[in-house]
Amino acid sequence: MEKLNDFGYVAKAFANIQAVLETQSDNIRRGAALMADAVAADKLIHVYAGGGHTTLAMGEMFFRAGGLANINPLMETALSVFNQALKYLELERTVNFGASIIKYYDIKQDDVVIFFHNIGINPATIDAAMEVKKRGGKIIAVASSHWQNEMPPDHFIRHPSGKNLFDFADVCIDDLNPVGDAIVEVPGFETPIAPVSNVVDFTIAHLLEIETVRQCVERGVTPPVWNSANTPGGDEKNAAYLKKYKPLVKCL
């Protein structure tokens, strides 16, 4: 069978992931330490995404087979891909909308919040980060230094403050996403295709959970982890976590 010509997509995506492993391992360990602290303190780990397809990374961490059961997605459907596209695009550029989501979920002192937004400069991201810090929360930011550093200071999608997500983060994890996201050029076609950000951000999400579980085990703490609900006995194994977290996690 003739191998599919992917125009280098898989190799480039894996190279991006490998670059994250080589340059961001210490930051992932630091982020996981905050997450392990939350597990040890029997607290939720909150996850926020600043709009559009980054909300899928938040979904990837929630109620996932092999994922942490104490994940609390700060979900706002209006910012997600499940809203009409032009509507969420407008809302993620709307000042103070992100802050209202943090207020609704009532983030408190020392709560851990993972932020996903590979661009990391829009109002829905920056206002939410400001509100978390105002409340004394801790931020693990997954975003791209390329987008934050290469977008002009007066770029129209920037928050009016001109701040970047990394300016507010306790831990910065650089996903190294290139500006424009799409990484494949097909000869004879002008527009780049095949984005890479979610492939990389999903991987970072799982690396954070892997390292969190490792650190918990090292501390003698048993982390809460979902079993697949689709395997024999899965529902029964998950029942205790559902009983515990359903009153606490609005999306369950």
d(CA 216, CA 60): 21
**pLDDT per position as a tens digit, 220-248:** 999 999 999 999 999 999 999 999 999 99
- The residue-averaged pLDDT of 156-171 equals 97
Q: What is the band of 202 on the pLDDT scale with cuts at 50, 70, 90? A: very high
How would you write 54-90 as a 3-class SS string? Answer: CHHHHHHHCCCCCCECCEEECCCHHHECCCCHHHHHH
d(CA 78, CA 94): 12
Q: How do beta strands 112-116 and 193-195 pair?
A: unpaired
User: What pLDDT, on the 0 to 100 scale, is given for residue 224?
Assistant: 98
Q: pTM score > 0.85 for this model?
A: yes
User: What pLDDT, on the 0 to 100 scale, is given for residue 130?
Assistant: 98
User: What pLDDT, on the 0 to 100 scale, is given for residue 43?
Assistant: 98
pLDDT > 90 in the chain, percent: 100
User: What pLDDT, on the 0 to 100 scale, is given for residue 246?
Assistant: 97
Which residues, in sequence order, are bridge partners of residue 68? Answer: 225
In order of their start, the domains of the chain are 24-245 (3.40.50.10490)
Q: What is the band of 30 on the pLDDT scale with cuts at 50, 70, 90? A: very high
- The residue-averaged pLDDT of 94-111 equals 98
Ramachandran bin of 129, using left for φ above 0, alpha for ψ from -120 to 50, beta for the remaining angles: alpha
- The residue-averaged pLDDT of 155-175 equals 97
- The residue-averaged pLDDT of 72-101 equals 96
Q: How far does Cα 168 stand from its chain's mean position?
A: 15
- The residue-averaged pLDDT of 133-148 equals 98
Element of type H or E holding 240: helix 234-245
**pLDDT per position as a tens digit, 31-86:** 999 999 999 999 999 999 999 999 999 999 999 999 999 999 999 999 999 999 99
User: What pLDDT, on the 0 to 100 scale, is given for residue 86?
Assistant: 96
Angle at which helix 123-134 crosses helix 85-92, to 10 degrees, equals 50
User: What pLDDT, on the 0 to 100 scale, is given for residue 153?
Assistant: 94
